Amino acid sequence: MTYFITTPCIDVMDQSCVDVCPVDCIHFEEGVDKMLYIDPDECIDCGACEPACPVSAIYAEDDLPEDQEIFREINPLWYQDKDAARAKVPA
């Protein structure tokens, strides 16, 4: 299981989740990205990021709301093709 960052992070990017992540698996490019992304290959499923997020943008894979399913694709895609992932982020 992994975690996904979703719509509430867009244009907020609080980074509290980055501060608590023990494996530094949450990334973004300053000045380019509108949200943060969790690397599913690096995530150890500790869950520390979820309660740290002040806008409740992070969900465990099994708890991802249906209306946020696109982020199941977007988060890992960012680690393969950043531009393609950015293009899928809702405006």
**CATH classification number, 3-88, choose in 3.30.70.20, 3.40.140.10, 3.90.1150.10, 3.40.50.1980:** 3.30.70.20
Instruction: Give pLDDT < 50 ranges for the chain.
Output: none
State pLDDT tens for residues 56-77: 999 999 999 999 999 999 999 9
Domain residue ranges of the chain, discontinuous segments joined by +: 3-88
* 7 within 8 A of 90, measured Cβ to Cβ: yes
Provide the pLDDT for residue 1: 75
Rounded Cα–Cα distance for residues 48 and 67 (Å): 23
> What's the pTM?
0.94
